[in-house]
Structure 1
Amino acid sequence: MKTWLLGLSLLLASPAFAQPPTSVTLALNWKAEPEFGGFYSAALQGIYKKHGLDVKILEGGSGTPTVQMLANNKVEFAIVSADEIILSQDRNAKNKVKGLFAVYQTSPYIVMTHAEKNFKTLKDVFASEGILSMQSGLPYYQFLVQKFGKPKVKVVPYTGGVSNFLNNKNFSQQGFITTEPLSAEKAGAKVKSFLIADEGFNPYLVVIAATEETLSKKPELVKKIVTASREGWISYLKDPKATNQYMATLNKSLDLETFNKAADIQKPLIETKETLGSMTSARWETLVQQLKDLKLIKSSPKAQDLFVNQ
């Protein structure tokens, strides 16, 4: 009898009887770049597979509506920003989106200027006679206007890239600390960047999110995706080179040197003394109040309704 039971247990443990991995999609809000390095690392190194997951990483682009994709049940997991979660809950109370894991503890949004202008602060940029390329509808722009007052600088729409910046010494623009400054410097410009987070608007960014429905109906799946993604990020932060080489084959707009430099630049914005990817109620409460003060939301969601640490 014992021999028969042993044989049965070995048979059930064999590959033919192994549980197939669960297929899920993780929708990104931009192309393959270092800001998503840990997710690609988890896929490339078999970490997701080890946790019983077959994760399809879906690249995004400019304006990819990942928070709407979640709320409309198009995907189970997606990358969003903390302010998008709050705005989504304010506008769609039926199928709430919640944050699970935050890559950036310090927001990487910047305003990039020419070093020759010798701006000392971001307020100096807003008070200058030059041109500032920013999306005026973004919460962080509205926060800066609220803080500094009506800008003296001429604000023009943000169109992407750095060509206008390179052609005009009086031109400043919004950007991502790992992208635009490196591109501009590679083209020969001398750059000075100001982190918007230093002015007090610091939402969590590159946040894995899911709906409350997914959280309640598939808690084990949620736990697996967060645990595996955290392991992927720990690995990527330790040594990003192999993953960068892979991402460079997916996104040819950046060369491998830029991938590696960007990975180094973003590292201190991601690392934390707490558990990697974890979030705090205080940060969420501050952001809710800021969006309320900007009149971007009508409701006042509680922190526990906006995120959950796995």
Structure 2
Amino acid sequence: MASSPPAKRQRRDTEITHSDIWHRDGSVVLQAGNKQFRVHWGLLSRHSAFFRDLEGLPQPPDQPSVEGCPVIELSDTAEDVECVLETLYDPLLLTQTALPLPTIASHIRFCRKFDLTNILHSVVQRIVHENPRTLKAYAGLMKGRSYSPTRISHSPGLSIDTVIVARENNLLSVLPCAYLRVILSCSRAQIFNGVRRKDGTLAILPPSDQRLCSLGHADILRDQWNDGNPLGWALFFRNHATNGTILSLGSKPLIWNKLCEPCMNAATRKMSAGRQKMWDSLPPWAELKDDL
């Protein structure tokens, strides 16, 4: 290995910075972008067959080095590399009850690429747990009528980001439930326009997934009323729902006749007030003039 890199690389190296992961007794330097990490071959080789094989290869004569350590340039982001290296040096980080989805995503990308199988399975299982295949497992995650993730930290746009991470990493088994979570947690506007994350960036689905979620929302809204489905027993409501009938501004539905008198009176008052509220929310009548 050359003890000093070519002149061109020396000028480039003046812009490179060391990360906080810089072990003085490290034996290899990983470089992602303009950030370098000095770590140990032994640690990398223990967890990754890729690095184990790479360590055994003869180094080319023009191999760049830093303080006698070979420099391995990676195409990954510095954030992904740093995230996984922190875990390798402190495995207890993965024992936290809940992890942020960006942290999980960084581990999935890096561990898939470099064959860190054990860590990969551990982080993927968190997404699988929150987006199960079976109704029993799905119902087990509910608390009453609400759901809050336990193994992934809750954050604005989480359901959308989960779909994006699953898509990018071919986690196909979690997609049906992940799509359902988008449909249940996002309004139609949010499905198409996205949800603002805490850092100000936008979690937004690709157009193909926007279409899937929009169509899925309409399908579920309709199919829940079909015979044999959860609301199939409510024949009156099913007929109106599946036909797209708007009841809120019309006369009293026939089902009123099946209510007891106190319930009918209360429902009539609420229906009357609700009709007026919806009517008032329609176009501003005072501003609409006939052109006569």
TM-score over 0.5 for the alignment?
Answer: no
TM-score, normalising length: structure 1: 0.22
TM-score, normalising length: structure 2: 0.23
